[in-house]
Every structure is written in structure tokens, then in C-alpha cells.
Amino acid sequence: MTIDLQLDSRVLIQGVDNPLALAAISRMQTYGTNIIGIVSAGRGGQRLGDLPMFDLVEEVQSRLGPIETSLIFVPAYEVLDAALEAIAAGIPQLVIITRGIPPLDMIRLLRQASMTNTLILGSGSAGIIIPDRLLLGIYQPQLFSPGKVAIVSRNQSLTAEIASELNIANLGQSIVIHIGSDSLVGSSCRLWLEWLQSDHLTEAIVLVGDICWDSEAVTAAYLLAEQGKPVVAYLAGIHASTPHPLTDAAIVLSHTLSKPIYHADTIQQRIKTYKRAKIAVAKKISQIPHLLKKSGQQE
């Protein structure tokens, strides 16, 4: 699976029938993102500002040429069809902004993506930002500044807060990647870490996850084997006295399909796994800049 983040990538938007999509399009265009068109069924032939609208993805490609990335904003129950349509058209990278995709739909989509070598970010992803260079998603660009620290996050609400702490400490961001907040997501933390190992703009990495995120062990094992760039981890909910309740039916189902229901004693096990891999674990967000500087990699 290949990650290709060219600054002039041709970007498609699928779905604009919500304020989030409209606001994101405006921000991305202001940031210089090369959005070439919009797919919205029933609105083909219309325009949204200077962007042409189409009924089908294949119409966009036949009229405007190849597309590198599609951002999907359609309602959750339409995501599978939209994503499969984009994959069938040969689009190599999908960013699924929509949250709450039915778990069985996501499983089917991930199987198809694996067979076609399609990169999927999300579902429930805020996207990617390379400060002052590239915006693919719903971030508020003014919250980020250029630098040498990459953030790979599973918790959207904490990402901007951590970036703010880095900014105050004069540690800007090389890239910010939100791999998705839903239980089932496409591209893994490990995939992005592998890519970041060869990213010349990145000198250190901050991992942000929830206590019910079970990929930490894989992440730590990879870093231990590679002995790569320094990493600081922050686990949201690390101080919780009890596990997060799984009250949403989709979350319960997806956890059942993909892994055992979370148990509280795994928190300390994951922290120990990080420490064995020589990864510093911040107890507070405010500790992250200090731990990065302590690594000796940041000036």
C-alpha cells in the first residue's frame, strides 16, 4: 500500500449535503488544495462556486482526468457505495470523514481496498495537514505551524490541543495524521510510522490514542525492531478508573467482530509495552514537549 502526498494532488469531494463538507471545501481551497470537482448524485451539471458537480466518479475522470485522492463526506449508510465507486474508478487514496460507518460495510470496504491496494484513511478521520503546504480534511489550519514533529492520532479532539502545546514550545508539526476515530479503520498506525521513518521533514513522532485502541503493542514492537525516530505517546483516558462504556450498538458490534471487549487491566500492560520499546509515555499533554526535547532530537 503506497502513501502519496504530493502538494499538487488532484482531489475529489464525494458528498456536499452538510455544513461540514462546505466549510472544509472552503478552507482547503483557501489553503491551496487542488480540488477539481464534486460528486453529488442528482446535482450533476451544477456548480458549487468554481467547482463543477457530477453524478458519478467516472464522469469526473472522463471529463477532468485522473484523481489521486477522494474525500468522502456522504452519510454513513452511503459510504460503502461511494468508496467502492471511487475504488472502481482507480482512485488510490480515500479519506473517509464520515463517522459511524456500519461495521459490516467497513469490513467489506477494507477487503476490497486490500485487493486493490487502495489507501483508506478513516472512517471518522479529520484527514491530513502538512502545515503551510497541504490540507486534506476538516482541520482548522490556523491551529498548526510548520516544524519537525509528526502527530499520528486516533483522537481528533486532542490533536489540536497537542499541536498548541508544541507550538508554544516552538516545536511545530511536519505532518498531522488522524487515522480515524471509529473502531474499524483502514490504514494502521504502523503503516504511517513506516512512512514517517523515511520522511525527511520528520524528526520525532507523537502518538495519540484512546485506552481502547489496541494497536499500541504492534506499534511498539515495530519501533523496537526498527530503532527509528524518537516517539512520545499519549493515551487518552489513561487516568480513567473504569473502562469507557461501550454504549453505542455499532461500537459494540465492531469490537465483537474485531477484538475482545476492552478490559481495564490492559492499560498498564500497554504502558509497559511502550516502555520496553523505549517510548516515553506522557501522563499529561503538557509533558509532551519536554519529553520530545529530552530525546535530544529537537532544538
Q: What pLDDT is attached to residue 255?
A: 47
* Mean pLDDT across the chain: 86
Looking at domain 144-294, what is its CATH homologous superfamily? Succinyl-CoA synthetase domains (3.40.50.261)
- Phi, psi dihedrals of residue 150, rounded to the nearest 5°: -90, 140
What strands, in cross-sheet order, belong to the sheet with 51-54? 47-48, 51-54, 34-39, 10-14, 69-72, 93-96, 119-121
Q: Which pLDDT score, from 0 to 100, does residue 272 have?
A: 77
Please indicate whether residue 118 or residue 239 has the higher confidence score (pLDDT): 118
Contact 177, 201 (CB under 8 A): no
CATH of domain 10-121: 3.40.50.720
Residue 138 burial (10 A CB sphere; 0-12, 13-18, 19+):
buried
Percent of the chain with pLDDT over 70: 82
Q: Is pLDDT at 94 greater than 70 in this prediction? A: yes
Q: Residue 261: what pLDDT?
A: 41
Q: Which residue has the higher pLDDT, 179 or 272?
A: 179
Q: What is the pLDDT of residues 183-235, one digit of tens each?
A: 899 998 888 988 998 899 999 999 998 755 555 556 665 665 566 688 898 98
Category of 28 on φ-ψ map: left (φ > 0), alpha (ψ -120 to 50) or beta: alpha
> pLDDT by residue (tens digit) across 22-60?
999 999 999 999 999 999 999 999 999 999 999 999 999
Whether 144-294 and 10-121 are alike in CATH topology: the answer is: yes
Q: What confidence score (pLDDT) does residue 242 get?
A: 47
Give the residue extent of every domain in the chain: 10-121, 144-294
Is the pLDDT at 251 greater than 50, yes or no? no
Q: Look up cell 502518538; give the residue.
A: 207
**Which pLDDT belongs to residue 262?**
43
Neighbours of 225 (CB within 10 A): 9
Measure the CA–CA gap between 285 and 235, rounded to whole angstroms: 10
Question: Among 2-6, 207-211, 275-279, 293-297, which is the least confidently predicted range?
Answer: 293-297
What is d(CA 37, CA 173) in angstroms, rounded to the nearest whole number? 29
| Higher-pLDDT residue of 256, 162 | 162
